[in-house]
């Protein structure tokens, strides 16, 4: 299955069902399930923004986010250039459905979609 690296706290927001769009500067034709890979860097400014714009989301403390591996799965249902989702900031938005959080499986990330052989995961 393919995977896509997403920085925290965004990866957590996706696999826990809060964020329904992943914003990218590039379009994808991929549809279906992929692993959400949490990168090793943390978006502190994004964390503060989420705290202020979505105060009802129970964000963990910054040091509690799993990083450096696979943290869940989600489906891409579409790739759009416009959306009413409060998470959409463009240029392209991957419309996400059916998020599932999984325990961290350490795994090295890559740029763009990358293949994760089935024997390399705990699922």
Taking a C-beta distance cutoff of 8 angstroms, is the pair 73, 32 a contact? no
Q: For residue 8, how many other CB atoms are within 10 A of its CB?
A: 24
Name the pairing type of β-strands 92-106 and 69-80.
antiparallel
Complete domains list, the chain, with CATH = 2-108 (2.30.130.30)
Residue 53 is encoded by which pair of tokens?
């714009």
pLDDT in tens, 95-116: 999 999 999 999 888 888 888 8
Q: How sure is the predictor about 122, in pLDDT bands with cuts at 50, 70 and 90?
A: low
């Amino acid at each position: 299955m393919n995977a896509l690296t997403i920085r925290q706290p965004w990866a957590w927001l996706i696999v826990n069902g809060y964020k329904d769009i992943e914003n990218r500067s590039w379009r994808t034709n991929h549809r279906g399930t992929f692993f959400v890979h949490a990168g090793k860097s943390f978006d502190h400014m994004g964390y503060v923004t989420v705290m202020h714009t979505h105060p009802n989301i129970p964000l963990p403390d910054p040091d509690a986010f799993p990083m450096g591996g696979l943290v869940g799965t989600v489906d891409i249902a579409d790739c759009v250039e416009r959306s009413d989702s409060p998470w959409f900031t463009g240029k392209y938005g991957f419309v996400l459905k059916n998020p599932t959080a999984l325990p961290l499986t350490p795994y090295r990330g890559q740029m763009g979609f990358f293949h994760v052989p089935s024997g390399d995961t705990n699922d």
